[in-house]
Structure 1
Amino acid sequence: MLCLDHILSRVTMYLSMGRNHKTHAWSPCELFNQDVCQNNYVVMVLNRPIPTEFSRKFVVNLWSKAALRVTVDGGTNHWLSWIKLNNYDNHSDSYPDIITGDMDSVSNDVLDYFSKRNKNLKIVSTPDQSETDFTKALKEVHKRTVDYNLKVDTVFVLIDSSGRFDQIVGNVNTLFKAQNVIPNVNVILLAGNSLTWLLIGNVTHSIKIPIELRNKHRWCGLIPMGRPCTVTTTGLKWNLSNTVLEFGKLVSTSNTYGEDSVVTIKSDNEVIWSMCIEDLL
């Protein structure tokens, strides 16, 4: 059963999006409230270790409540290592629903382990090297949601933001591609101390900021990727007013919050939003 507050927040979001997609309300930090009952999201594990900042309770809650659980290539190895280390491997809900990727990193022993324990497991090889495994995994998620009429609104992707820079940029590139790969679904990168996602252009984005982050003046940033963005904000300590963000000129990193519980952002082009979450874990 969905919690009333969660239902109301989703209804508000969809109603606002329905008006020509001119506004979009975000409350992703609800994810860290263990009492929030939701099961309309996907959790995906990429080929990086599960962030050590995440408690066992948080990871189990995130994984077990998901409508669909996906491990991507070598991420399957990391997931098995984590569930064994945290004594979660004997729980039936600890197994992925889909394992996908070009299969150059996942161990055959790991595939056998999950295949024997989840008879409904779908293993999908995606050898096409013109796309990253992350992008291809989103395509598989989209197929699953269509085939099974599965209603999801968000994909939370477990990553490690301290890894290879080329892979970090590749993950950001997939955020841009996701608009076409899995339409009308939010894709959010969940690292050990941050949430990162794409804000589409010509929309007023309203982001709810927990009081813990505001009180400690935690960092946040707006990163223009690919082309300049003209951005206006409210709720930040250093707000922007029709300010052009562009590499080689101004990039809004190491910003923080004012006193408002909501940050609003409007940009004429897509812009990346990233925010600290360390006080919520």
Structure 2
Amino acid sequence: MLAKDNEFQYWAPSLFLAVDDKNKKCSNQIEYRGLVDQRPYSLIILNQPISIGILDLLFLNEKIEAILRICADGGANRLYDVVKGTENETRYIPNYICGDIDSLRPDVAEYYKSKGTEIKGNPQDQDTTDFQKCIALLSLKEQEASLEYDIIGYGALGGRFDHTMSSIHILHQQINNDDIKKKEQQKRIYLLTDHDITMLLSEGKHNVFCDLSILGPTCGILPIGVSQAVITTTGLRWNLTKATTSFGNMISTSNQFNGEIVTIETDSPVIWTVELRK
């Protein structure tokens, strides 16, 4: 029986990609759902390549179906083009399209408006990205509903390098938020692509659940956005013990899992990234 340790923050990046607990090789999947203090998911689709296989899990899986669905401007074009003509086309409808609305095609806008999607455009604000505008909208909806979501940012990485770094910047913004700092569990934001999942772990101790039938075999811990991070891990093939990591010195890439649960203790925020199994 798994027991919760309040010194740790808990992460489960494989749970929202699981189809059926009974079919998983990981025996601890069901137990870990209780440890992670699972919140409802919100989905933000960004303007990068996406696939029907991942969309099926995020839209059609009743166990983890995202409650609040937002497309970031051109992300709506991506969604529309991928699901058009599929059997469940009308089930992939976002609640909102948000951003500058300078990439949204007129035909896509008309289609989603006809299905009840609200378009929240703010082209005057050029100091924030479409992703940031979506998170601001999500925060407003959280306040209205007295509810907190875990965020899946699908398509937040890849393409232009400055866009990728902007997404990492947003992760740092979230853990630097004073209201979030007061909470026992930081806001979970999972940046998802068709190849990997990436999160930012704040200073402290973290327990990351890894369903080995979904994630792996490779992973990495990267001190992006900080000068250095002193890291100790368990559960990896090549564990770190009070290792000082920094760019130009040493970083941990192409590491591998040695079990279902990885623990990471760090004195500074670090990026944790893990490969999706093919």
TM range (shorter): 0.7 to 0.9
One-letter code of the match for 1:83?
A: V
Distance 2:54 2:131 in 1: 24
Q: 1:150 aligns with which of 130, 138, 147?
A: 147
One-letter code of the match for 1:27?
A: A
Per the TM alignment, residue 59 of structure 1 is displaced from its structure 2 partner at its CA by: 4.5
**1:212 pairs with 2:197:** no
Change in 2 beyond 3 A, CA 1:223/1:51: farther
Q: Secondary structure at the match of 1:206?
A: strand
Q: Secondary structure at the match of 1:250?
A: coil
Q: Secondary structure at the match of 1:218?
A: strand
Q: Secondary structure at the match of 1:210?
A: coil
Change in 2 beyond 3 A, CA 1:75/1:62: farther
Change in 2 beyond 3 A, CA 1:102/1:65: same
Match in the other structure for 1:271: 270
Match in the other structure for 1:198: 200
Per the TM alignment, residue 226 of structure 1 is displaced from its structure 2 partner at its CA by: 2.1
* Contact 1:50–1:160 under 8 Å retained in 2: no
Q: Secondary structure at the match of 1:81?
A: helix
Q: 2:20 aligns with which of 12, 35, 49?
A: 35
* Contact 1:49–1:160 under 8 Å retained in 2: no
One-letter code of the match for 1:141?
A: L
Match in the other structure for 1:176: 172
Q: Which moved more, 1:158-167 or 1:179-188?
A: 179-188
Change in 2 beyond 3 A, CA 1:178/1:194: same
Percent identity of paired positions between Structure 1 and Structure 2: 28
Distance 2:133 2:251 in 1: 30
Q: Secondary structure at the match of 1:66?
A: coil
Structure 1 residue runs of 5 or longer lacking an equivalent are 1-7
Structure 2 residue runs of 5 or longer lacking an equivalent are 22-32, 181-185
The structure with the largest helix share of the pair is 1
Distance 1:48 1:273 in 2: 21
Match in the other structure for 2:27: none
Per the TM alignment, residue 142 of structure 1 is displaced from its structure 2 partner at its CA by: 0.7
* Contact 2:58–2:66 under 8 Å retained in 1: no
Distance 2:141 2:156 in 1: 26
* Contact 2:17–2:214 under 8 Å retained in 1: no
Q: How does 1:225-244 map to 2 (within 5 A)?
A: 225-227=224-226, 228-244=228-244
Q: Secondary structure at the match of 2:126?
A: coil
Distance 2:178 2:134 in 1: 10
Please provide the CA RMSD for this pair: 2.7
Per the TM alignment, residue 122 of structure 1 is displaced from its structure 2 partner at its CA by: 2.6
Change in 2 beyond 3 A, CA 1:165/1:71: same
Q: 1:139 aligns with which of 127, 130, 136?
A: 136
One-letter code of the match for 2:163?
A: Q
Q: Secondary structure at the match of 1:143?
A: helix
Q: How does 1:244-259 map to 2 (within 5 A)?
A: 244-258=244-258
Change in 2 beyond 3 A, CA 1:169/1:268: same
Match in the other structure for 2:93: 95
Distance 2:121 2:56 in 1: 31
Distance 1:112 1:82 in 2: 17
